[in-house]
Amino acid sequence: MKKTIKLIPILFLLVLAACSSDDNTVVPEEFVVAFENPSVSFNATESEKEINLIFSTVAPEDGTISISFTGTNAVYGSSEDFVTDPAADNGVISISVASGATSASFSFTKLKDAIEGMEKSIDFSIATVNVGGGITSGNTTMQVAFAETAALGGNIESEVGGPNEPNQVYVDLSGQNQTSVNRESWDLAFYNGDSFRVAINGSVFMAVSELDAVDIDAVDAASVADLQPTVAVGTFDAANTVFVDSPDGVITGTAIAEISETDSENKVYLVNLGSEIGTETPENGSVAVSGESRGWMKIRVLRNETDYTLQYAGLDETTHSEVTIAKDAAYNFQFFSLMTENEIVVEPIKDKWDLNFTVFTNEIEGYGSYGYSDFVTTNSKAGTMAYMVEVETLAYADFELSNVDESLFEDDQRVIGSNWRNGGGPGSLPSLKEDVYFILKDSDGNTYKLKFTALVNESGVRGYPAFEYTLLQ
CATH label of the domain that carries residue 37: 2.60.40.2030
**Dmax (CA) of the chain:** 89
201-255 pLDDT per residue, tens: 999 999 999 999 999 999 999 999 999 999 999 999 999 999 999 999 999 999 9
Distance CA 117, CA 94 (A): 33
Whether residue 25 is contained in a domain is answered as no
Pinpoint the alpha helices (H) of 151-289: 221-224
**In this structure, is residue 7 part of a structural domain?**
no
Could you count the other beta carbons within 10 Å of the beta carbon of residue 252? 8
Residues 211 and 166 in one domain: no
pLDDT digits (tens, 9 = 90+) for 266-315: 999 999 999 999 999 999 999 999 999 999 999 999 999 999 999 999 99
Please calculate the CA angle 100-102-105 and round it to the nearest 5 degrees. 115
The answer to whether residue 335 sits within a structural domain is: yes
Residues 337 and 362 in one domain: no
Is residue 203 located within the same domain as residue 289? yes
Q: Tell whether 209 and 330 lie within a shared domain.
A: yes
Query: Does position 259 have pLDDT exceeding 60, yes or no?
Result: yes
Do residues 76 and 194 share a domain? no
Domain that holds residue 39: 31-149
Structure confidence at residue 143 as a pLDDT band (50, 70, 90) = very high
Based on the fold, state whether residues 201 and 307 are members of the same structural domain: yes
322-332 per-position pLDDT tens digit:
999 999 999 99
Same domain, 322 and 359: no
Confidence of residue 20 (pLDDT cuts 50, 70, 90): very low
Q: Mean of the pLDDT values across residues 9-29?
A: 43
Is residue 22 in a domain? no
Same domain, 197 and 311: yes
CA 308 → CA 218, 312, 386, distances in Å? 22, 13, 32
Same domain (yes/no): 315, 459: no
Confirm whether 96 is domain-assigned.
yes
The answer to whether residues 133 and 193 belong to one domain is: no
Contacts of 4 (CB under 8 A, 6+ apart): 159, 177, 178, 180
- pLDDT value of residue 16: 36
- Higher-pLDDT residue of 423, 376: 376
Does some domain include residue 51? Answer: yes
18-31 as b/e, with b when 16 or more CB fall inside 10 Å?
eeeeeeeeeeeebb
Decide if 192 is inside a domain.
yes
What is the side-by-side strand order in the sheet with 342-344?
A: 198-200, 188-191, 333-337, 342-344
How far apart, in whole angstroms, are the C-alpha atoms of residue 369 and residue 230? Answer: 11
Q: How many domains in the chain?
A: 3
Distance CA 84, CA 107 (A): 6
Half-sphere exposure of 65 (CA within 13 A, CB side): 28
**Residues 90 and 204 reside in one and the same domain:** no
Cβ atoms 217, 313 nearer than 8 A:
yes
Q: For residue 119, give the amino acid letter.
A: E
Regarding whether 402 and 286 lie in a shared domain, the answer is: no
